[in-house]
Structure 1
Amino acid sequence: MKHALASMPVLLAGALLLAASQQPAAAQRIVDLEIDDNVVTARLVLPLGLAAADLTIRFEEVVGLSESSLGLSLSRIGVLNPRLLARLPELGGLAGGLPMLLTISPPASGGLSFSGVVEVELYTRNLHYTQGSPLRLLKATGLGDFYDITDFMGSGSYRVRGTSGGFSVFLIGVEGRSPSAVIEDKYGALHDLLDDHADSIPAAVATTLQNHLDASELGGYGTGDLDLAIDELDDFIDVVEDNAGGTGIPNVWRSSQDLVNVAGELVAAARTLRFSLGLAP
């Protein structure tokens, strides 16, 4: 069976979700939303006490940030929904203890823009962190496949954070693949990002980034030297950040969707790869 439910027995999860589905949509709430400079905090609540989580969104630099320009919405998800499961990474599943989908979709006319990366963090008592936990923060663009963006997770009871160069939909899922399969997939994704946006990166910078990525993958990870693999990724991130903006690597996202935040996407992909390398045996 490709996908598996985690963190809650199937019958209990199904019963709770069925009961919740009979409640009015207004019962799904985003409450206590506050904005302090470049940080947004809010409480995400599902009906019947089914689940709740604290949301934190952090921007490096942001313009036009308000509750309306952010475009937050919350929905319940069916943890056995085959169409949703089919969009998860191979062997993945959904966290039965937190059956919610967070959408961040700033309206085009809202005037929101940011540079660098945005951090999305969730904290919930409905899930529990253990050493080697398979829980991950996943992101999808529109109706596309979900992918892991996690760059930190920890206890209390479960806290997870990911970075991104843009917005879309987010949920907590279960990683069922081996660490090596995840790492190889993330190396591939980072290579693809470099190739796809080569025309918008100064040639000398692109060469330097490719060299660091190859050194991380082949000279580090490929030889079992994880410290070297992580060090080279850190150098990769430093080069991106040092050359972001201006005539360098594009680093701005706008709600009008007319720009690609290349620097933000590269840094986010490198950070989640670094996270996975830190979990490698």
Structure 2
Amino acid sequence: MTFLRFILLSALFLPAAVSATTIDVKFNQAAHSVKAEINLSPAVSLDFSIGFGNAVGLTPQNFTINAELISLTDPRIVNRLPDSLLTSLPSAFPVLISVEPDPARGFAFSGTADIELYTKTLHYTEGTPLRLFHAHGNESFQDITTMTGAGSYRVRGSGGQFSDFVVLVDLRSNLTVINEKVTQLQSFTSSVQQQLSYDAELQLTTLVQDIADAVAQSQLVQASTAVNELIRVLELDDGVLYPDVWRSSDDVINVRGRLLSISRTLRYSLRIH
């Protein structure tokens, strides 16, 4: 028996590799928050947390967090990237995180869900292209980043709904990202304005148009001022003019939460431009 054949035959009888995946999820109902300590391999681990202004039914029976290592060419990700050439999974951190509230149970939250991901697997450097992206259902992934920082890599974002989260390397120009986020803001505003009162619709469309006009004219300081004003209005509203509830049955639109999420990540992109 040749040495090579011996190696090949021996490999058939090697024990299967033991999975290193562990996910320890802790719920803090008093603080309306949940944190997951996730170990996917000896080389890949992370902390993932979500905080809510207010949440109902935040229990292990109603709300699960899953994570997995995936292929860099996984079609679940690649087919939903904003740009298949300029956005990609980092080879050291090909992680898909899925937040899955049970649609048959009573989980709900109001306002935004504030998300933080921390990992020692990646390392922060000034000007890093690493960003936090989110996709709801089978929709395309969208940048929701509101902060990036050291330790070794920490990123924050916010959202008004759930499903999948990934960290991506985003090599698009920042101006391209800004324009895309403005388009998202305009598109979402257009889709929900009929649900609003006349006063709320007028206020929202005026503020969003101010942002779009400033960006179109490359007046980014003015755009930042307009975005801050929109965020201020939405934060003060507290669900009075703009509906702000999301529930696991996914039958209502969290208007205020979604608007805040898009506005905050747009503010981040304007700040780093």
Classify the TM-score, shorter chain.
0.7 to 0.9
Cα deviation, residue 244, structure 1: 4.2
Match in the other structure for 1:271: 264
Q: 1:113-139, CA deviations, whole angstroms, 9 ceiling, x for partnerless residues?
A: 110000111000111111111001011
Larger Rg: 2
Match of 1:260 among 243, 253, 266: 253
Match in the other structure for 2:185: 190
Which letter maps to 2:261? A
- Matched position secondary structure for 2:266: helix
2:70 pairs with 1:73: no
Partners of 2:48 and 2:123 lie apart in 1 by: 16
Match in the other structure for 2:200: 205
Please show how residues 234-253 of structure 1 align to structure 2 within 5 Å: 234-246=228-240, 248-253=241-246
Cα deviation, residue 23, structure 1: 4.3
Which segments of 5 or more consecutive residues in structure 1 lack a partner in the other structure?
Answer: 1-21
Identity of aligned residues (%): 35
Match of 1:37 among 24, 31, 36: 31
Partners of 1:259 and 1:27 lie apart in 2 by: 38
Partners of 2:225 and 2:103 lie apart in 1 by: 39
Please show how residues 66-215 of structure 1 align to structure 2 within 5 Å: 66-82=59-75, 84-90=77-83, 91-215=86-210
Which letter maps to 1:149? I
Alpha carbons of structure 1 residues 29 and 214: separation in structure 2 relative to 1, 3 Å: same
Partners of 1:66 and 1:202 lie apart in 2 by: 35
* TM-score relative to the length of structure 1: 0.85
Q: Which has the higher helix share?
A: 1
| Alpha carbons 1:29, 1:46 under 8 Å: kept | yes
Partners of 1:139 and 1:224 lie apart in 2 by: 27
Cα deviation, residue 83, structure 1: 5.2
Q: 1:200-238, CA deviations, whole angstroms, 9 ceiling, x for partnerless residues?
A: 12222222222222222323x344433321121111122
Alpha carbons of structure 1 residues 23 and 85: separation in structure 2 relative to 1, 3 Å: farther
Alpha carbons of structure 1 residues 117 and 222: separation in structure 2 relative to 1, 3 Å: same
Which letter maps to 2:212? E
- Matched position secondary structure for 1:236: helix
| Alpha carbons 1:127, 1:158 under 8 Å: kept | yes
Match in the other structure for 1:5: none
- Matched position secondary structure for 2:93: coil
Cα deviation, residue 82, structure 1: 4.9
Alpha carbons of structure 1 residues 82 and 114: separation in structure 2 relative to 1, 3 Å: closer
| Alpha carbons 2:25, 2:34 under 8 Å: kept | no
| Alpha carbons 1:89, 1:175 under 8 Å: kept | no
Q: Which is further off, 77-86 or 184-193?
A: 77-86
RMSD of the TM alignment (CA)? Answer: 1.8
Partners of 2:163 and 2:75 lie apart in 1 by: 21
Q: Which is further off, 155-164 or 27-36?
A: 27-36
